Structure 1
Amino acid sequence: MSVHPASTLLLVSGSVRRGTVNSAALATAASTLPGGWQATMYSGLADLPHFSPDLDTDGGPRPVLDLRAAIRNADALLFSTPEYAGTLPGAFKNLLEWTIGDTVMTGKPVAWLNPSTAPRRAAGTYQALRTVLAYTAARIVEDACLDVPVERGQIGADGVVTHPDVRRRIGGSVRALTASAPNGR
């Protein structure tokens, strides 16, 4: 009997703050993964240097190499980011900029969870994410992109959303994304 290695969903929060609603949405996504999948939370956002083509030699600085390796080793990516001044937070945009000159995102299935309780206010943020992802040549899985308002009171002590309907909707997004991966199960 051959054992298939688990497929990996890379979870990327656009916030450098701990305990955010975005991180809770991603932790909830990890808890709803179908069999044969594992989740990895990217935690190096605050360590990335400001993007500069002058630094992008020999693969870039160590934090950039780690980011690119995490993406390369993932079978799919799921993002969740807060809105900041009507668009993407600078640190998250910086992360995305480090992926544009490299083909690491080319063809990767990606989606996002927008947990804002004011989704219209965050609409510009996710439109900006869509625009930047187009430059990375990632494959946006439309059926997996989700506006799912999450209130702080819906997050348990373990950092996972407890509201059954919100969990169900996040699980549906995760299933759509993982099913779209080349070796989706």
Structure 2
Amino acid sequence: MFYSNAMKFLALSGSTRQASTNTAMLKAVADIAHPAYDIEVFSRIGDFPVFSPDLEALPLPAALQTFVAAINRCDGIIISSPEYVMAIPGGLKNAIDWLVSRPEIVGKPIVLMHASHRGDDMLAQLRMVLSTISDRFSAELFLRFELIKKSPDEISSHLEKPENRRVVEDFLADFARHCTL
């Protein structure tokens, strides 16, 4: 939940794994972010029912109500996701499918982060899908760290290094500018 008057970013993990590298990276970014940015990490896409237009009628299932409310409150969305079989993971695609006909995603600024040196096929697919659902998706703003096989503590330590912290700060500042255009 967002608490401050700062720029509000929703950091969406595309993984359903409890020990997700992408979730750990997003949490580490939230922890080191300048107070000008309030970052809420959302890592519960595995709680969503499989998308069906029949379920879109109000009220939405509870897990989706929480998700949609977080999207509505945020100034922009940062997505980080693993690649499964060279594609967007089913849970993330399902989450996106739930948003396609919702007004909360229209015009919402979206950028990507990635926690691996591989995954370019998934990233290409994700860029295509996101540019379809929001005209504010920025393919140019992108941040990648090679964090595979690191524990959450190792990921946090890695991002706290001054040179990595600077890269994160620059990325967040660029995204904040994008959100205000």
TM range (shorter): 0.7 to 0.9
Residues 168, 46 of structure 1: alpha-carbon distance in 2 compared, 3 angstrom cutoff: same
CA offset digits 1:126-175 (Å, max 9, x no partner):
11111111221251234421232224347526x52425244332332222
Aligned AA for 1:124? Answer: D
Aligned residue number for residue 7 of structure 1 = 7
Q: 1:169 aligns with which of 167, 170, 173?
A: 167
Is 1:179 the counterpart of 2:177? The answer is: yes
* CA gap 1:174/1:28 in 2 versus in 1, 3 angstroms: farther
Q: Does the C-alpha gap of structure 1 residues 95 and 6 become closer, same or farther in structure 2, counting only changes over 3 Å?
A: same
Structure 2 distance, partners of 1:142, 1:130, is: 7
Give the whole-Å Cα distance in 1 for the aligned partners of 2:55 and 2:15: 23
Structure 2: segments with no counterpart, 5+ residues: none
Equivalent position of 2:128 in the other structure? 131
Of residues 155, 160, 170 in structure 1, which corresponds to 2:156? 160
Aligned length: 176
CA distance in 1, matches of 2:51, 2:21: 26
Q: CA 1:61–1:174 in structure 2 vs 1: closer, same or farther (change >3 Å)?
A: same
CA RMSD of aligned residues (A): 2.2
Is the partner of 1:146 in helix, strand or coil? strand
Structure 1: 4+ residue segments shifted above 6 A: none
Report the 3-state secondary structure (helix = DSSP H, G, I; strand = E; otherwise coil) of the residue aligned with 2:110: strand
| TM-score using structure 2 length | 0.86
TM-score (norm: length of structure 1): 0.84
Q: Following the alignment from structure 2 to structure 1, what is the Cα–Cα distance between the partners of residues 35 and 139?
A: 22
Q: Is the 8 A contact 2:21 2:151 kept in 1?
A: no
Q: Please give the secondary structure, in 2, of the residue aligned with 1:78.
A: strand
Q: Percent same amino acid at aligned positions?
A: 25
Name which of structure 1's ranges 165-174 and 47-56 shifts more when overlaid on structure 2.
165-174
